[in-house]
Structure 1
């Protein structure tokens, strides 16, 4: 397990990361309401997701690794907000940190790298849905300028109960409209 002082590097995700990224994601499927998937996924089921995040463009996958061991500590993505063409300048962002890597600033480093990578893209807004309660995620998003825009009440059912999802948005424009 990395220490709190482990140097962390952030880089684009690659196909070689897929097994570990799937393990991290499946932890959240099994143990939490952070994702509303209810069944674990195989690496092959996750492959299309990974391939939909190239090294350039608006849909990115950034991976944090421990500098000394290259152990994957987490990942962040930007994905299509919705599939209809008019939504193409909006993305949905998310962060998943390995269970033993929380509270070390990994999520902050990942989001910083993700938003830096997206800075040159033709994007207008980023959105994040946060299953409630999740104070750590709310704080992370607030640090990056996301603001609460509404809550879908009891929108997902997992572990035998209904959960709310709070929605946050962030302006990605580099300059005000003229």
Structure 2
């Protein structure tokens, strides 16, 4: 563990994190094509999302905080892959790291904690969609054993252009 990682704590997300998590996500909504949301959220609008990730079960929210300040440095989630019942053993996973906290291994810590928490769940596969280009996310997912399934070409339009999304899969 690097010195930077030693200062980071990972725990389940709680309702008190809502404002900071919303601010972090809104950065990616406003500034990047990493998410295909195009309008920022209020904390109240994001509350159902947070509540859909309890501390147990297959749909989790893990939060990385600075050990000294408790500032949220990132989060990872597992969410339903699709809503139909036969998909219940599959999840879609994602990681968001605060822009100033990149390149510290926080995404790695978050995924380690998330996959450890999911180890006892009745899950078969995890999927991740990566808007391209995003070399850091591609490396992170490949490091965790995800394999590239294919790419949806120009599947999303944001900032006046079309974006590709690469889909990755991992056995659980």
SS of the residue aligned with 1:111? helix
CA deviation map 1:13-70 (0-9, x unaligned):
0000000000000000000000000000110110000000000000000000011111
CA drift at 1:4 = 3.8
User: What's 1:175 paired with?
Assistant: none
User: What's 1:38 paired with?
Assistant: 38
CA deviation map 1:130-169 (0-9, x unaligned):
0000000000000100000010000000000000000000
Unaligned runs of 5+ in 2: none
Note if contact 1:9-1:65 (Cα within 8 Å) is conserved in structure 2: yes
TM-score by length of 2: 0.97
Unaligned runs of 5+ in 1: 173-178
Note if contact 1:6-1:66 (Cα within 8 Å) is conserved in structure 2: no
CA deviation map 1:82-126 (0-9, x unaligned):
000000000000000011100000000000000000000000000
Distance in 2, Cα, partners of 1:72 & 1:106: 11
Distance change in 2, residues 1:121/1:167 (3 Å): same
CA drift at 1:5 = 6.1
Note if contact 2:10-2:63 (Cα within 8 Å) is conserved in structure 1: yes
What does 1:79-158 align with in structure 2 at a 5 Å threshold? 79-158=79-158
Note if contact 2:5-2:106 (Cα within 8 Å) is conserved in structure 1: no
Distance in 2, Cα, partners of 1:160 & 1:144: 33
CA drift at 1:6 = 5.7
Distance in 2, Cα, partners of 1:159 & 1:69: 35
TM-score by length of 1: 0.94
Note if contact 1:74-1:107 (Cα within 8 Å) is conserved in structure 2: yes
RMSD: 1.0
Q: Does 1:58 align with 2:81?
A: no
Note if contact 1:145-1:170 (Cα within 8 Å) is conserved in structure 2: yes
User: What's 2:74 paired with?
Assistant: 74
Distance in 2, Cα, partners of 1:48 & 1:152: 28
Q: How many residues align?
A: 170
SS of the residue aligned with 1:149? strand
